[in-house]
Structure 1
Amino acid sequence: MLPTHGRYDYHPLPDRPRYAWPGGARLAVYIGLNLEHFAFGEGLGAELAPGGPQPDILNYAWRDYGNRVGAWRLIQLLDALALPATVLLNSAMYDYAPALIAAHRDRGDEIAGHGRTNSERQSALPEAEERRLIAESTAAIARHEGAPPRGWLSPWIAESHATPDLLAEAGYRYSLNWCADDQPIWKRTAHGPLLAVPYPQEVNDIPSIAVRRDGAAQFADIIIDDFEERLTQTEDGLPQVMGIALHPYLVGQPYRLRQLRRALAHVAARREHVWITTAGAIFAHVAALPPGIVPGR
């Protein structure tokens, strides 16, 4: 027998129960907007070009463009199209760019936990230190937003063997770490069920643009094609979740933003046929369904 995580069982897609999202929709769409802050001269970070010795000015400044400029342009775009967002927040952003978080708060966007900074991986920490990372990030969000977050995305999608247990222990109700399905599924933890809400690794600007080197128009086409294919697939009654993962230092660049506007306008134009929502609202809907509808519970 191969080693296994033991968090969920195998459930064939065609055999699953049918259910609907609010308004009878079969496709739920949410935007996961990553707001991240990085240590200067040390730690991890995506790279525009291979970095040299620290301090790596080129890549640090490129990422900082997202918080200073790109994120504000994205807010304008979301406002113009009346689209909500789930903000995946490094808690270090409260000290670095509080006005940006306030702007999302004013929009009514959901704030989800995304660690302290993307300059660290929680999977590399001893369990006590990982518990502390989760606690510090959670406390910062609760202090500023008036309530703790319900959802979590690990920096770099990094998990230790204990991460789901630690998240449930800390009061989290859903995680975006596992990209194993097109539907939410319940995961087992030592502290009760934790919902895995699908988070994209394909319709995601980092793997697309920073890794595969897709062009701006190609990434926009990926969003549109994924959306249209899912609309076709859900005609069989099986609901799906489509996430769109964005990072302001990538898609906030003007030429990419122009193409992103085309893609998001295409999605927004079909809002009568889909549920455009947040990851937290997806969790709340699933949690209210009768037991046995969603795999794992």
Structure 2
Amino acid sequence: MSSEALTTPRPTAGLAPATRGLIYGLIGVIIFGGSLPATRAAVLALDPWFVSSARAVGAALLGMGWLLAQRAPLPSGRDWLGLVVVGLCVVVGFPVLTGLAMQWVPASHGILFVGLIPLATCLVGALLGTVRPRRPFWLWAAVGAVSVAAYAILQGGGDFGPADLLMVGAIAVTGIGYAEGARLSHHMKPAAVISWALVVCLPLSLPALILTWPAAPQTVAVSAWIGLGYVTLFSMFIGFLFWYRGLVLGGTARVSQIQLFQPFIGLGLAAVFLGEQVGWGILIGSVMVTISVAKARRYA
């Protein structure tokens, strides 16, 4: 058995590439759905800057281990800039912005903003020339994104505060990082893309980890360490193995729409593990998102 078979997730052997891409993407979205609840659990007892840097450093060690085990070649000169962009967006930008936002709002509020990520990803993909969907696609993608955004504003009582601005920034940088990562994944292994992106961010994440190390780690609640462990192992590494693979096999426009389900996966996890209240309005939002995803896939 090849070393690639041991390190690349392959739950879809024998299926058409488009179907395989959707399955990979769905697995990635389920993993990412736990990111904000886990982040919320972590920042309730740990400094958000420490959480952001610790998850980046921990995942970078996993990435280095993968690169060494695979004897992965160095990226080409033109790919380094793309890897820096991916790293600054998904390794630094999203964790820092969401970590700060989760100090002020419950995970169930922030989670809904991630429904905007598919639209952001496709917008950037279109600018990069990697996405060329038909016009109705944009209409249905916008309907799904607006449905999620409207629910988020209604849930917040019509307010749009600092935490909401941080979440908008997190969505913007994630769209850039996902689109650039998908572009790189067409000629690099998805695991290599996220691994190198994590490694290139070590000059930022490692000093930040040292500077923000908690004074009394033994007093921190176990739930906070579990949350940190989840975002380190799954959100920052394993999830990307499935996600980038799915974008490559199924197409960025088509697979990215699955991420509209991520808010509702996250809301369920927030309700179960954090005890946060989720109203009936979420059912209406779920129906709207399901319709939007189905229609957008048709035109992607």
TM-score (norm 1): 0.31
Q: Which has the higher strand share?
A: 1
Q: RCO higher in 1 or 2 (8 Å CA, sep ≥ 6)?
A: 2
Q: Which has the higher helix share?
A: 2
